[in-house]
């Protein structure tokens, strides 16, 4: 079968590999769409041995059940499904304490994280425990953002945000856009973005959000955001200066949710954190319940994937789309790869 994988010169190359076998208690899924995640963008050129040459990336997967292994009940060929991104071990302290989405072994089981094959492939074989049924009426282009939207709902669940609150999102990239969509689905609509890229600000403004240039915020501080100090801030940039900025902008007793992964240690004013009694929480991954919630909002039309997905491309264009997504002035937001789409 055809896949896109990390090549020796650290590009994403198209190659043929053996089609995976549908073992007992597994399901083979024909991959219809697989989103490009920020993790994938980092993996392509990462020196971390986890991301070895030959790795097939991709963990934001939707598709059609192609074959059902012996012993699997409840699924049949033709079923349309969204995949949760990994299988918790069930034995570590996180799994045993009911927080299996933080499984200490999660990277080795996670789809497209260097060990298990990912979704940049025509087919993938997974445990049926990962499958979520896509409701009729929801297209693969729409359902294709279920996993990253669930990640956004997880961040919203980690925040204290409620309707009526002033919320600020640092970074109008895919995670920021999904976070705004998740907030809106929960009727939290007083949202302002901060981003240095005019193309991404324009995309957010097209969806009726306010979007402010980072330079204006650096110059004028919280005044640039509008009337109210945000009581919740979502850090969705991964920039090394973003957490420090969030600490300055946040209201007294506000909560900052960190979702980006900066390459270096960050500096922030502990004085401000103490004086304002700021709460800072991290947000990683998502639960299977958040997958269901995300899909429910998509099916109900409360989240419009059309406003977030900017391109759907065949495997052959994956590498070029990585470049486009990494371009600081680029206008791509969420790109879905369609592995069974013809190259031309």
CA-to-CA separations, 14 to 51, 115, 119, 314, 315, in angstroms, rounded = 17, 18, 13, 10, 7
Q: Token pair of 221, please?
A: 């501080």
Residue among 37 and 167 whose Cβ is closer to Zn ion:
37
Q: Is 95 in the site for Zn ion (CB under 5 A)?
A: yes
Shortest spacing between CB 257 and Zn ion, in angstroms: 16
Shortest CB 100 distance to Zn ion, Å: 6
Alpha helices per DSSP H over the chain: 38-45, 93-96, 106-109, 140-143, 146-158, 174-185, 198-206, 214-220, 242-249, 270-275, 288-299, 318-326
Which of 15, 41, 89, 224: binder of Zn ion (CB under 5 A)? 89
* SS3 state at 47: coil
Q: Which residue, 3 or 149, is less far from Zn ion as judged by CB?
A: 149
Least Å from the CB of residue 149 to Zn ion: 11
Binding mask 196-235 for Zn ion (x = CB under 5 A): ----------------------------------------
Q: At what angle do helices 174-185 and 198-206 cross, to 10 degrees?
A: 20
Nearer to Zn ion, 107 or 343 (CB): 107
Nearest to Zn ion of 37, 245 (CB atom): 37
# chain residues binding Zn ion, by CB under 5 A: 7
Interface pick for Zn ion out of 15, 17, 41, 92 (rule CB under 5 A): 92
Q: How far is the CB of 150 from Zn ion (least distance, A)?
A: 10
Burial of 73 (0-12, 13-18, 19+ CB in 10 A): exposed
The total number of residues shown for the chain amounts to 344
Q: What number of helices (H) and strands (E) belong to the chain?
A: 12, 15
- Give the three-state DSSP class for 129: helix
Mark residues 100-119: x for contact with Zn ion by CB under 5 A, - for none: ---x----------------
Instruction: Please identify, using beta-carbon distances, which residue of 217 and 298 lies nearer to Zn ion.
Output: 298
Beta bridge partners of 66: none
Contacts of Zn ion in 32-61 (CB under 5 A): 37, 39
Q: Of 87 and 231, which CB lies nearer to Zn ion in the complex structure? A: 87
Which residue lies nearer to Zn ion by CB, 39 or 332?
A: 39
The CA angle 257-263-268, to the nearest 5 degrees, is 50
d(CA 15, CA 3): 5
From the CB of 242, what's the least distance to Zn ion, in Å? Answer: 19
Contacts to Zn ion by CB under 5 A = 37, 39, 88-89, 92, 95, 103
């Amino acid at each position: 079968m055809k896949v896109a994988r990390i090549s020796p010169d650290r590009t994403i190359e198209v190659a043929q590999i053996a089609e995976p076998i549908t073992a007992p208690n597994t399901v083979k899924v024909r991959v219809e769409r697989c989103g490009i995640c920020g993790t994938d963008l980092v993996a392509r050129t990462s020196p971390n041995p986890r991301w070895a040459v030959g790795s097939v990336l991709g963990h934001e997967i939707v598709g059609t059940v192609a074959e059902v292994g012996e012993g699997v009940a409840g699924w049949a060929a033709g079923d349309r499904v969204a995949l949760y991104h990994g299988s918790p071990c069930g034995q570590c302290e996180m799994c045993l304490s009911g927080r299996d989405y933080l499984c200490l072994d999660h990277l080795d089981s996670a789809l497209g994280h260097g060990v298990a094959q990912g979704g940049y492939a025509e087919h993938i074989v997974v445990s049926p425990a990962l499958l979520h049924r896509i409701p009729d009426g929801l297209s693969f282009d729409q359902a294709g953002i279920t996993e990253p939207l669930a990640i956004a709902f997880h961040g919203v669940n980690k925040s204290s945000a409620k309707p009526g609150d002033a919320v600020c999102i640092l970074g109008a990239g895919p995670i920021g856009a999904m976070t705004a969509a998740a907030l809106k689905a929960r009727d939290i609509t007083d949202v302002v973005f901060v981003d240095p890229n005019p193309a991404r600000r324009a995309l957010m403004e097209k969806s009726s959000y306010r979007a402010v240039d980072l330079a204006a915020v650096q110059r004028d501080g919280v005044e640039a955001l509008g009337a109210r100090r945000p009581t919740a801030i979502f850090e969705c940039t991964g920039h090394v200066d973003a957490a420090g900025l969030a600490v300055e902008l946040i209201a007294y007793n506000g909560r900052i949710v960190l979702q980006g992964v900066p390459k270096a240690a960050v500096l922030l004013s502990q004085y401000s954190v103490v004086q304002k009694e700021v709460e800072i929480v991290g947000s990683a991954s998502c639960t299977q319940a958040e997958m269901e919630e995300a899909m429910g909002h998509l099916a109900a039309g409360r989240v419009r994937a059309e406003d977030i997905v900017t391109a759907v491309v065949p495997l052959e264009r994956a590498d070029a789309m990585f470049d486009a997504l990494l371009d600081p002035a680029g206008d791509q937001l969420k790109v879905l790869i369609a592995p069974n789409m013809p190259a031309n």
